[in-house]
Amino acid sequence: MPRAGIAAMAMAPEGPAVAVLMATFNGAAHLAAQLDSFAGQSLPPRWLVVSDDGSTDATLEILADFASRHPAISVTVLHGPRRGAAANFLHLLAHVPEGAEFVALSDQDDVWLPGKLADGVALLRGANLPALLGTRTLVCDESLGGARPSPLWRRPFGFAHALVQSFAGGNTMMLNRAAIRLVTAAAEEAGQVVMHDWWLYQIITGAGGQVVFDPRPQLYYRQHGANQIGANRGPIAKLHRLRALLRGDFRVWNGINAAALAASAHRLTPENRAILKDFIRLRGLPLAARIAGFRRLQLYRQGPAGTASLWLAVALGRL
């Protein structure tokens, strides 16, 4: 349910109807800058829907102040499920405003560049299939300094990639109306997911949808101690990922993802249903059969390090 006193009625601005979905939890330190970047868009959103996971700082007051200063943006704040960021974003997908043509996902601590929504709409407009947009980011420190572009992936995007790696941060993602309908229905079936952005990539590509990647960075991705998931760059990040793989975390995540996809298997294309079935089966095979099977399946990750980690996981039975 919305929290009383924090909703503000919009004045129906012109242009495509875009809704921003934002998950919050004790985000007061950086939230105001993110909200100001929404208002500063060349194509401002018509709605801002926030799912708050029980903030005890000034997050709710900052949201209320923003709503009072920007009556052209309808602001609604919901009680979050308090089961982590992924569950919070899935909760938001059940509250997409009626009439929204496009949805943009947002973290609470970034800063969007002014053309983010307009550029996203331009890239998604005209797609008849469910379409998911992701972009590069400007990875920066807590003060927005030292900004550098996130990696530019070279291999194509699709279900054979989505099963083992996401393609963009959820804080960059936008969906068209067909994708909104798909993921809203699938979210009711999924149960637990590891990361909402990874699951979105999997379910949309699995259902035969379209992925659009914008190589232009569209936001400042702030790195700080409170980040749940960082930018995954540099030797320390690679060491953390290797340790997670050796611990078996990657295998656990893949099991959770596979179960969520299996619950929505009727939404996948026949080809991708078969890939998912083989993926689940091959994870339990002995070493030689597992390696041969994954070669036939042709799953892949981006970049040399990603490729090496994938085959290490296959060899060690950690996939």
Give the number of other CB atoms < 10 A from CB of residue 303: 13
Q: How many Å apart are CA 159 and CA 208, to the nearest integer?
A: 9
Greater confidence (314 vs 225) lies with 314
pLDDT at position 230 is 52
pLDDT tens readout for residues 72-121: 999 999 999 999 999 999 999 999 999 999 999 999 999 999 999 999 99
Q: Which residues pair with 18 in a beta bridge?
A: 102
pLDDT at position 233 is 55
pLDDT > 70: percent of the chain: 92
pLDDT tens readout for residues 253-303: 999 999 999 999 999 999 999 999 999 999 999 999 999 999 999 999 999
pLDDT tens readout for residues 135-146: 999 999 999 999
Q: What confidence category does residue 225 fall into, taking pLDDT thresholds of 50, 70 and 90? A: low
Do residues 97 and 74 lie in contact, with contact meaning Cβ atoms separated by under 8 Å? yes
